Amino acid sequence: MSVASENAGVRAARLFVLLSGGVLAGMVQLAILPSQTQMAEHFSNQGDGALIAQYVTAIAAPTMAFGAPLIGWLASRVGKRPVLLLSALLFAVFGALGAVAPDLWTLLATRVILGLAAAGFGTMAITYIGDYYTGERRDRMIGWYAVVGGAGSFVTLLAAGSLADVGGWRVPFALYLIGFLVFALAIPVISKATDREVVQEAGSDTSIRGAMGLYVLIVLIAIVMYMVTMQGPFLLKEDGITSQSSTSMIISMTTVGSMAGAYLFGLINPKLGFRGVLALTWASLGVGSVGFALTNGVSTLAIFAGLTGIGAGLMQPLTQSAVLNAVPSAAHARAIGLAVGCIFLGQFLHPLVLQPLREAVGFQDAFIWMGAAALIAVAITMLWRLRSPAHPAPASS
């Protein structure tokens, strides 16, 4: 839909709302990550405090993985606007309730609902970007969605650490109150017209079959792209890097690289097309993973970690833009819900895939094997591109 005739302030406020989806998704875990040790101490009388704290942090990930597709389906029935608004409201309420949860089970329940809310808001935000923008501008906006999400992750980590130092592990839950601001801004700037479109398009094509191959691709890339963030600290410890500050600096470069990759997407996608950017994505992940395994210096490790981050940053806008192109507009909400879910599904599957590989060959060779698999994917993608160089045609809206 066109936004050219609207007030510039309305357009800016709407863009803030939509781009905040990546920030809210990142906050789910990062807002309480710095206070995990304090949380572990608090729950130590109920068992393994460290394990409990990790469960509290991680329980939202599978919820987001399996909840996003369901939320996309719900939006196709009741409309995107009510789902987006309700998601922002639930994010604020149940996120902040963690600060006053009287027991562990209540806290876990709030985290489950928080994950659903974040998945719902992120899914609707990307879907709305597909509604309000078209062509190369839409691709740039999807890239900026990931850039802003990465920047928000940095700010969230800094703020959460400071709040935990001042007031303990419960205080950072107040950061989730930003959902109220997003909710209030969204009410006047998110159009009700798209809800009417749900009814108008009820008899039109809502198939997502055109994106099925993309969903498999997203899961495969996601499994590889979490190598450094999830396995990196263990490999660093094995290599003798035990400083927490050094480990944090190296791993944080994946976020820096992700922001750079997401920004680059809007610049290179018109020139390289889907297959070209996909090959670059696999190459970044492959070279980054192999390089991370074969080097020891902190600065060099940081460079290779950043390279894997570039691949991750390219993947999200590339695949989400392709999904929007592959399905009719009436199916956008369902299709993006599945795409978002596939990213978290890959994160969920990553340790299950890596455990047998790691036990068979060790941490270092596991990185090399996964990197080699990504480089093989580069060759396959380039052959595919040479055989069929034309860009995939967007689905009709």
Per cent of the chain over pLDDT 70 is: 91
Work out the average pLDDT over 142-165: 85
Domains defined along the chain, listed by start: 1-186 (1.20.1250.20), 210-385 (1.20.1250.20)
Residue with tokens 């069929």: 388
Q: pLDDT tens digit string along 7-39?
A: 788 888 999 999 999 899 888 888 887 777 788
**Residue 33 pLDDT:** 75
SS3 letters for the chain? CCCCCCCHHHHHHHHHHHHHHHHHHHHHHHCCHHHHHHHHHHCHHHCCHHHHHHHHHHCHHHHHHHHHHHHHHHHHHHCHHHHHHHHHHHHHHHHHHHHCCCCHHHHHHHHHHHHHHHHHHHHHHHHHHHHHCCHHHHHHHHHHHHHHHHHHHHHHHHHHHHHHHHHCCCHHHHHHHHHHHHHHHHHHHCCCHHHHHHHHCCCCCCCCHHHHHHHHHHHHHHHHHCHHHHHHHHHHHHCCCCCHHHHHHHHHHHHHHHHHHHHHHHHHHHHHHHHHHHHHHHHHHHHHHHHHHHCCCHHHHHHHHHHHHHHHHHHHHHHHHHHHHHCCHHHHHHHHHHHHHHHHHHHHHHHHHHHHHHHHHHHHHHHHHHHHHHHHHHHHHHHHHHHCCCCCCCCCC
Q: What is the pLDDT of residues 287-320, one digit of tens each?
A: 999 999 998 888 899 999 999 999 999 998 999 9
* Mean pLDDT in residue range 332-352: 85
Phi, psi of 389 (to 5 degrees): -70, -15
**Distance between CA atoms of residues 53 and 70, nearest Å:** 27
Query: pTM surpassing 0.85?
Result: no
Estimate to the nearest angstrom the gap between the alpha carbon of 42 and the chain centroid.
30
